[in-house]
Amino acid sequence: MLDANSILLSSLNIGNRTAQNRFVAQPMEGNDGENGAVSERAIKRYTQLAEGKWGVIVIEALAVKSDALARKNQMVINREHLPGFKRLVSEMKKADPNALILFQITHSGRKSGKDFSQPTALYDPAPHEHLLTTEEIDEIQRLFVEATLLAEEAGADGVDFKMCHGYFGCELLRPANQRDDKWGGSFQNRTRFLSESVKELKTRLKNKDFILGSRISYWEGIKGGCGTKSADDAVEDLTEMDEVIRLMVNLGLDYVNVSAGIPGVTSEITRPTATSKWFYLHQFRYARRAKALVGDAMKVFGSAYSVLKEEAIALAEENLQKGDTDFVGWGRQTLADPLFPKRLALGEQVDYCKLCSGCSKLMVKQEQVKCIIYPVIKE
């Protein structure tokens, strides 16, 4: 049981809003949309998650286009599907009016499934990938802005620009992105998408308390990836990603959600396994570095706590007490036990993630995602 005075249970502001505690439910894809729309299953599992009394719940990667899907049944955020998203937020708010609900918006880029979608590339396309034109990237930017405005209309408390894990937003930032148009080459061009989008949203959002933030991969572990020095280097050099975070502060973003790696490529950097447990120390180091950069100007969400199971609680409290992060995020643990924060607070038994990768295997097979040990969703 958590002590009633645990820092994990303390409230903290994000922008002009207040999170009821420091627990973040990280975005975990369910692959259970219905032709892109919100399904009854998705509503059930997110309502159950809201019942867990999380401070922040990040709704899984919502595609801005129906041909940019990493999952066959990924949800797509557009005006046609807006009623479903309104109902999703409404049901979650009924379960917990105090939870802050963020929509993560994305374009899957190279990670789009070639059997049901259109893989695209910003540079060096593979034979099955379409090289995006300048105008097509312009359109994707327009759709990101529109998706954010739709999230506001749906009743969400904010959005997360997905610029991590090898997807379109992450590919834009890479030193390897040496396009010869306005979307590549220089640092200014590679961050233009984020800069221009946020500036436009600041003028168009009606709710001035709407939360804006982004999840990034501080280091991807590939040649020319985020967190490297140049297009032909894979060794970790975080100098440029530090500048990305400083840019986020200057743009007035409310938080940065710190992650790393690319699932399916450098997976264990992103989500350490039982045999790679100590990769969590890299994730803690990245969060500490980000927090040292931003100070009080922006909040930091830390990642990779699921691998620590019961140990995570003491380490999360320690990181918060030291000021190494502001919030602590769990991904796989949300599938094993959606009620995790509530159960900890009440001293109830918690079902801890077994690190079996069963949920990931379901995702890879394009099946509906769930915990195979603790099937908590009533189908």
Burial of 76 (0-12, 13-18, 19+ CB in 10 A): buried
Which of 255, 272, 346 has its CA nearest to residue 312? 272
Cα(91)–Cα(334) distance, rounded to whole angstroms?
Answer: 18
Paired tokens of 272: 């350490």
Asked whether 179 and 123 are in contact (CB, 8 A), the reply is yes
* Type of residue numbered 119: P
pLDDT of residue 379: 47
User: What rounded mean pLDDT belongs to the chain?
Assistant: 97
Pairwise CA distance, residues 171 & 189, whole Å: 12
- Interatomic CA distance for residues 149 and 147, integer angstroms: 5
CA 339 from chain center: how many Å?
Answer: 20
**For residue 250, what are the contacts with CB-CB under 8 A and spacing of at least 6?**
none
Q: Report the pLDDT value the prediction gives residue 377, as an integer from 0 to 100.
A: 55
**pLDDT tens track for 139-194:** 999 999 999 999 999 999 999 999 999 999 999 999 999 999 999 999 999 999 99
Q: Where are the domains of the chain?
A: 7-364
- For 54-104, write each residue's pLDDT tens digit: 999 999 999 999 999 999 999 999 999 999 999 999 999 999 999 999 999
Give the mean model confidence (pLDDT) for residues 8-23.
98
Helix 239-251 / helix 192-204 crossing angle, nearest 10 deg: 10
What is the reported pTM? 0.97
Sign of the four-CA dihedral 203, 209, 210, 211: positive
Give me the pLDDT at residue 206, please: 97
Are the beta carbons of 272 and 262 closer than 8 angstroms?
Answer: no
For residue 290, give every residue at least 6 positions away whose Cβ sits within 8 Å of its Cβ, in sequence order, or none. 218, 245, 256, 258, 300
Q: What is the rounded distance in angstroms from the CA atom of residue 280 to the CA atom of residue 286?
A: 10
d(CA 173, CA 215): 12
Q: Return the CATH architecture of domain 7-364.
A: Alpha-Beta Barrel (3.20)
317 band by pLDDT with thresholds 50, 70 and 90: very high
Looking at the chain, list the stretches that DSSP marks H as alpha helix, in order from N- to C-terminal side. 40-50, 82-95, 134-154, 168-173, 187-190, 192-204, 239-251, 267-270, 280-294, 311-322, 332-336, 340-346, 358-364
- Rounded Cα distance between 72 and 324, Å, is 38
In angstroms, rounded to a whole number, what is the distance separating the alpha carbons of residues 74 and 366? 10
Sign of CA dihedral 364, 224, 306, 70: negative
